[in-house]
Amino acid sequence: MNEIVTTQRPGSVAVALFLSTKVQSQHLEKLALVYVRQSSQRQVENNVESTDLQYRLSDRVEAYGWPKSRIEIIDNDLD
C-alpha cells in the first residue's frame, strides 16, 4: 500500500512522496545519513541548485518517517 505525504518546511518547497510500506520501525531506528557533495570548489560555487537539491534530501528522509534527531547531513567537504 502506498500513500502520498506532503511535508513543508519554512522556506522550502513542499515534498510529495509515495511512501512504501517497506519502511518499517526497525529502519526508522537507524540513523539516516544525507551526504552532500560536489567534486570541486568550482562546482560548489556554480552548482548552487544541485547543492540545494541534495540538502533537501533530508526533507524526503523526514517524510519517510525519520525524526529530525535521527537525520545527519554530511557536508564537511564542501568548505
Domains in the chain: boundaries: 24-78
Cell 562546482 belongs to which residue? 43
| Structure confidence at residue 11 (pLDDT) | 43
Cell 568548505 belongs to which residue? 79
Note if 50 is an active site residue: no
Q: From CA 67, how far away is CA 27, in angstroms rounded?
A: 12
Residues 22-46, buried b or exposed e (16+ Cβ, 10 A)? Answer: eeeeeeeeeebebebebeeeeebee
> pLDDT by residue (tens digit) across 30-44?
999 888 877 777 877
Cβ proximity of 33 and 74 under 8 Å: yes
| Structure confidence at residue 70 (pLDDT) | 92
Q: How confident is the model at residue 24 (pLDDT cuts 50, 70, 90)?
A: confident
Q: Catalytic pick from 39, 40, 50, 69?
A: 39
| Structure confidence at residue 22 (pLDDT) | 78
Question: What mean pLDDT, rounded, does the chain reach?
Answer: 74
pTM: 0.62
> pLDDT by residue (tens digit) across 49-66?
888 888 888 988 888 889
